[in-house]
Amino acid sequence: MEKDFEKWSVKKSGLDVRLRFPSIKERDVFWCSIGVNIGDEENGKSDTFSRPVLVFKKFNRNLFLGIPLTSQNKDNKYYIKVQLKSVTRSVMISHIRLYDSRRLGPRIGKLDKIGYNDVIKNIVNFIPKPLVETWGSD
């Protein structure tokens, strides 16, 4: 896939000046202009450089921790299968990051509580455990 960084730059400039954007709640899934990114980082698709993103943690009306979704259902610990509107998708927890609400497009739906809790459980398992025993041994 050829990456069009210049076209994304124009789109991103337009998003930056948006004054109106949707209100968000945890578990919501929106189309989100995530852009053209470097290397293996997840990219958006189409002219809007968008893909579905789960609002994982809302920090304020403008900033949230989001996780992109894909229709590819890989069987590994970084792709967590969820149901969204009776369609199986995968939440790509290895691509979790902060987003500004100005990137958001239309709301697609809301993840059910069971699916959301499964995502939380997998993220907790994804985070390295602290090496408490080694603290203070430097």
How confident is the model at residue 46, as a pLDDT?
67
In a domain, 121, yes or no: yes
| Averaged pLDDT of the chain | 84
- What pLDDT sits at residue 127? 80
Task: Give dist(CA 33, CA 11) in Å, integer.
Answer: 9
Map tokens 């927890």 to a residue: 93
Does residue 80 belong to any structural domain of this protein? yes
Would 135 be classed as within a structural domain?
A: no
pLDDT digits (tens, 9 = 90+) for 28-57: 999 998 776 655 657 667 677 679 999 999
**Residue 133 counted as domain residue:** no
Is 134 domain-assigned? no
- What pLDDT sits at residue 36? 60
Unique residue bearing structure tokens 């809301």:
110
pLDDT at 17: 79
Question: How many distinct structural domains can be found in the chain?
Answer: 1
Indicate which CATH number applies to the domain containing 112: 2.30.30.110
Indicate whether 137 belongs to any domain: no
Please tell me the predicted confidence (pLDDT) of residue 66. 96
Q: What angle do CA 76, 82, 83 make, to 5 degrees?
A: 150
Task: Write down the pTM of the prediction.
Answer: 0.81
What is the model's pLDDT at position 74? Answer: 84
Q: How confident is the prediction along the chain (138 residues), in pLDDT tens digits per residue?
A: 577 767 767 677 777 777 788 899 999 999 998 776 655 657 667 677 679 999 999 999 999 999 999 988 888 889 999 999 999 999 999 889 999 998 899 999 999 999 999 999 999 888 887 765 555 555
Report residue 135 CA to chain centroid gap: 33
Domain assignment present for residue 89? The answer is yes
84 contact partners, CB below 8 Å, separation of at least 6: 29, 52, 69, 108, 109, 111, 115
> Domain limits at 112?
5-127
Does residue 95 belong to any structural domain of this protein?
yes
